[in-house]
Amino acid sequence: MTAREAFLQARDLLVERRGDYAGALREFRWPVLGDFNWALDHFDAYARGNDRPALWIVEEGGAETKVSFQELSTRSNQVANALRGLGVGRGEGVLIMLDNVLPLWEVMLACMKLGAVLVPSTLLLSQADLLDRIERGGIRHLVVDAAQTGKFETMDPGLTRICVGGEVPGWRGMTSLYEGSPSYEPDAVTHATDPMLLYFTSGTTAKPKLVLHTHQSYPVGHLSTMYWVGLREGDIHYNISSPGWAKHAWSSFFAPWNAGACIFVYRAARFSAAATLQAIVDKGVTTLCAPPTVWRLFIQEDLAAYPVKLRELVGAGEPLNPEVISQVQKAWGLTIRDGYGQTETTAQVGNPPGQPVKAGSMGRSLPGYEVLLLDADGREAQEGEISLKLAPRPLGLMVGYKDDPSKMARAEAEGFYRTGDVATRDEDGYLFFVGRADDVFKSSDYRISPFELESFLIEHESVAEAAVVPSPDPLKLTVPKAYVILRAGWEPNRETALTLFRFIRERLSPYKRIRILEFGDLPKTISGKIRRVELRKRAAEASHSPTEFREEQFPELK
């Protein structure tokens, strides 16, 4: 059996067991792959002579881009040949910083075919963030939105520079890449375990961790995600997500194309719930994945006024409020199904289609994963850290952290991969999310590392010590709030707050900016550790101190 046949056999079993959770859990096995390149062995093979739409991008002004599987296969071949001519080689890092535009998918497929290592990056990254990625990620080539090229002006001139969406001096335009041959021949065999994706994800350390995935861990691993969403061949699937984050690869790349579905995108300068819902109706979207922030905006509209053709709804990123689920159910007669995974994994836990859904639960173990809850002593418990059994090792788990390989080595020695998240399990096996084992939190749909922000704050001359916690926000769920001890000579007043907010805006990406500052002492344990639980409680109570300052109080920052 070839690697492709093994992949298709595993996929088809999940398709056949779509409504049979027990059967899928019992019978599914990850395929054994030797040499395998998903872009060549699955996508191109599926695309051959296939004129069904693979990608459909609709602009708010009405313009549309729709390409078939065959067209996208050919276009990515042209790009792959052109990139190879520019020196992009196997194992070399390629930073991709693009919006939801056609070249994003073309370049990703092309880099996979070449055996290069993709480093997806959000447009929100600051120059400092990008420099860190280039240095630690081993980046040698850039494919960047033309409007973002200024962030790279002072960086290594030896980097290959390709821009999309305009002409920039010193950068090669994307249009030149379509001059390559429409036929592609690989220069070597790709092993399934070869590196393919490198994600920078926030954690408990000062800098983001480097999550390394292979040609099997994400492409093939996302069979579990395909099963959770309930994707079928011919579906029009809309995942409301920005490029650069793992969720985009989850549901705007691998899971839908594993099933043979069309990826749909609605592009607008600013998000509008009404316009997005109308696009979902007009274009006949059948499956929808959206973060809780979007669902909360949707229910502010009259959902019943939108005659959607949706069959499946899923939410990802954080637990959904029961009120949101109830309002959607009432309007559309559909249940938003929750799930759980990480940048480090594919979907591990979820509520598959047709299965009973319990309020507040993210579901049960998905096929291919054996999920356990471990207490601090490593024993199974009804409440504990979400952990994956590594015998057998789930295919959707990362290779490890490129900057800390010892962490995965320790996990393999223990026999479990610990996610860092805590949950409870009921008598039926349903898992209920409790929170992070550490202090990482989410603002909107973005992961925020308090330690990273604290390390940044103390770089300012006014800050002696700082602690960052989530503060409630009606739209984003939470925003970062910093409790700050000032150095001698600095007053806890408006001027100091303005100085810090300006420092924050100059240096931090918008999605992780600290929005609230409070000056004063930090509660600590006897051993000197900051009592974050007390600060989180204080922030949740929203008791306004005279030394608390909010970003919106400073019109001069606009």
Q: Which of 362, 276, 352 is nearest to 317 (CA)?
A: 362
| pTM to 2 decimal places | 0.83
Q: How far apart are CA 499 and CA 512, in angstroms?
A: 18
Q: How far apart are CA 384 and CA 367, in angstroms?
A: 21
What is the chain's mean pLDDT, rounded? 93
Is the C-alpha dihedral spanning 26, 372, 445, 303 positive or negative? positive
Q: How far apart are CA 163 and CA 159, in angstroms?
A: 12
pLDDT of 95 over the 80 cut: yes
Q: Give the confidence band of 108 by pLDDT, cuts at 50, 70, 90.
A: very high
Q: Give the confidence band of 528 by pLDDT, cuts at 50, 70, 90.
A: low
Distances (CA, A) of 509 to 125, 134, 146, 317, 514: 5, 16, 18, 20, 10
| 48: exposed, middle or buried (Cβ count in 10 Å: 0-12, 13-18, 19+) | exposed
Q: Give the confidence band of 532 by pLDDT, cuts at 50, 70, 90.
A: confident
If you average pLDDT over residues 198-206, what whole number do you get? 70
pLDDT of 526 over the 50 cut: no
If you average pLDDT over residues 137-141, what whole number do you get? 96
Judged by average pLDDT, the poorest of 7-21, 61-75, 299-313, 535-549 is 535-549
pLDDT > 90: percent of the chain: 78
Is the C-alpha dihedral spanning 208, 502, 439, 357 positive or negative? negative
pLDDT of 498 reads 96
pLDDT, tens digit (0-9, with 9 covering 90-100), for 390-429:
999 999 999 999 988 888 888 888 999 999 888 899 999 9
Query: From the CB of residue 9, how many other CB atoms can be counted at a distance below 10 Å?
Result: 12
Q: Which domains does the chain have, with CATH numbers?
A: 3-369 (3.40.50.12780), 442-557 (3.30.300.30)
pLDDT of 205 reads 46
Is residue 36 classed as helix, strand or coil in its secondary structure?
coil
pLDDT of 251 over the 90 cut: yes
pLDDT of 527 reads 42
Which tokens is 220 given? 């093939």
- Beta carbons within 8 Å of 36's beta carbon, 6+ residues apart: 3, 4, 7, 190, 191, 192, 215, 216, 220
Judged by average pLDDT, the poorest of 79-88, 275-284, 533-542 is 533-542
If you average pLDDT over residues 26-53, what whole number do you get? 98
pLDDT of 213 reads 98
If you average pLDDT over residues 421-440, what whole number do you get? 85
pLDDT of 529 reads 62
Is residue 469 classed as helix, strand or coil in its secondary structure?
strand
Torsion of CA 195, 196, 198, 199, to 10 degrees: -130
pLDDT, tens digit (0-9, with 9 covering 90-100), for 459-481:
899 998 899 999 999 888 899 99
pLDDT of 204 over the 70 cut: no
pLDDT of 233 reads 98
Q: How far apart are CA 196 and CA 202, in angstroms?
A: 20
Cβ atoms of 444 and 477 within 8 Å: the answer is yes
Indicate the residue type of 509: S
Which tokens is 46 given? 């599926």
Q: Give the confidence band of 101 by pLDDT, cuts at 50, 70, 90.
A: very high
Beta-strand (E) ranges in 462-535? 463-473, 477-486, 516-519
pLDDT of 411 reads 87
Which tokens is 529 given? 């550790």
pLDDT, tens digit (0-9, with 9 covering 90-100), for 337-383:
999 999 999 999 999 999 999 988 999 999 999 999 999 889 999 98
Judged by average pLDDT, the poorest of 35-44, 370-379, 534-543 is 534-543
| 158: exposed, middle or buried (Cβ count in 10 Å: 0-12, 13-18, 19+) | exposed
Query: From the CB of residue 499, how many other CB atoms can be counted at a distance below 10 Å?
Result: 14
- Helices 69-85 and 102-114 pack at an angle, to 10 degrees, of 60
Q: How far apart are CA 444 and CA 511, in angstroms?
A: 8
